[in-house]
Chains A and B, each alone.
Chain A
Amino acid sequence: DAKTTQPPSMDCAEGRAANLPCNHSTISGNEYVYWYRQIHSQGPQYIIHGLKNNETNEMASLIITEDRKSSTLILPHATLRDTAVYYCIVRARSNFGNEKLTFGTGTRLTIIP
């Protein structure tokens, strides 16, 4: 079962920042937070991941609370092409294997023109 809780849907105006929340209150010390998105009928696209520090790349920023029980993915200037289902995934990382991804139902983000 997925270890995360996300709102089923959100809207955001084009050009504004999209803030997608994720709750992962049972996260363990060796578990990272990953974000993927899936545009209709395509394969999931990796966005970003982090452990406890905030992370930023060319696509998005990831803000993780100090207690690591929740996080927010920020798309700074949303465009229509950002309309997709966004998945927040908690994934263990270890020296003993490449751990699977456990997907929930995600948040369907719709960018409004």
Chain B
Amino acid sequence: DAGVTQSPTHLIKTRGQQVTLRCSPKSGHDTVSWYQQALGQGPQFIFQYYEEEERQRGNFPDRFSGHQFPNYSSELNVNALLLGDSALYLCASSEDSWRTDTQYFGPGTRLTVL
């Protein structure tokens, strides 16, 4: 059983460009959350998707948007990239169940903005 997978592993972009990151949840999971982790900091919550809709959102600008597909996979899009968007982007999947809603993380995508 594959865990949470993310692609690509690494990405280099320049300021002003747009980027799309992808996440496939663990089998049986229907909820996907995205986190940003700057160097030396703990992960910060961006948003969460369930039933193809954004259910929660952290303190991130509208340049950050997402999508969830019918197969529960998800994309994170960032427009008009800034140098400060350089970070490790983490996807976590979980079941939408009160009993078993533990979030499991993927390996992350390292984004570098030049």
Chain A residues with a Cβ under 8 A of chain B: 2, 34, 36, 41-46, 49, 87, 93-95, 97-106
Q: Which of A34, A36, A94 contacts B98 (CB 8 A)?
A: A94
A2 and B56 contacting across the interface, CB-CB below 8 Å: no
Complex CA gap A11/B81 in Å reads 39
**Chain B min CB distance to A90 (Å):** 13
B43 and A93 contacting across the interface, CB-CB below 8 Å: no
B43 and A101 contacting across the interface, CB-CB below 8 Å: yes
Chain B residues with a Cβ under 8 A of chain A: 4, 31, 33, 35, 41-45, 48, 50, 55-56, 58, 88, 90, 92, 94, 96, 98, 101-108, 110
Complex CA gap A87/B103 in Å reads 14
Q: Which of B33, B101, B108 contacts A42 (CB 8 A)?
A: B108
Interface centre among B33, B92, B110 (most CB of A within 10 A): B92
**Chain B min CB distance to A49 (Å):** 7
Complex CA gap A87/B35 in Å reads 15
| Chain B, Cβ-Cβ closest to A42 | B107
User: How many residue-residue contacts, CB under 8 A, span A and B?
Assistant: 65
Q: Which of B33, B98, B104, B110 contacts A95 (CB 8 A)?
A: B98
A43-B4, A102-B45, A104-B42 known; A93-B107 Cβ under 8 A: no
| Chain A, Cβ-Cβ closest to B110 | A41
B108 and A43 contacting across the interface, CB-CB below 8 Å: yes
20 contacting pairs across A/B (C-beta < 8 A): A2-B42, A34-B102, A43-B4, A44-B105, A46-B103, A46-B105, A93-B101, A97-B55, A98-B33, A98-B103, A99-B101, A100-B45, A100-B58, A101-B43, A101-B92, A103-B35, A103-B42, A103-B43, A105-B41, A106-B42
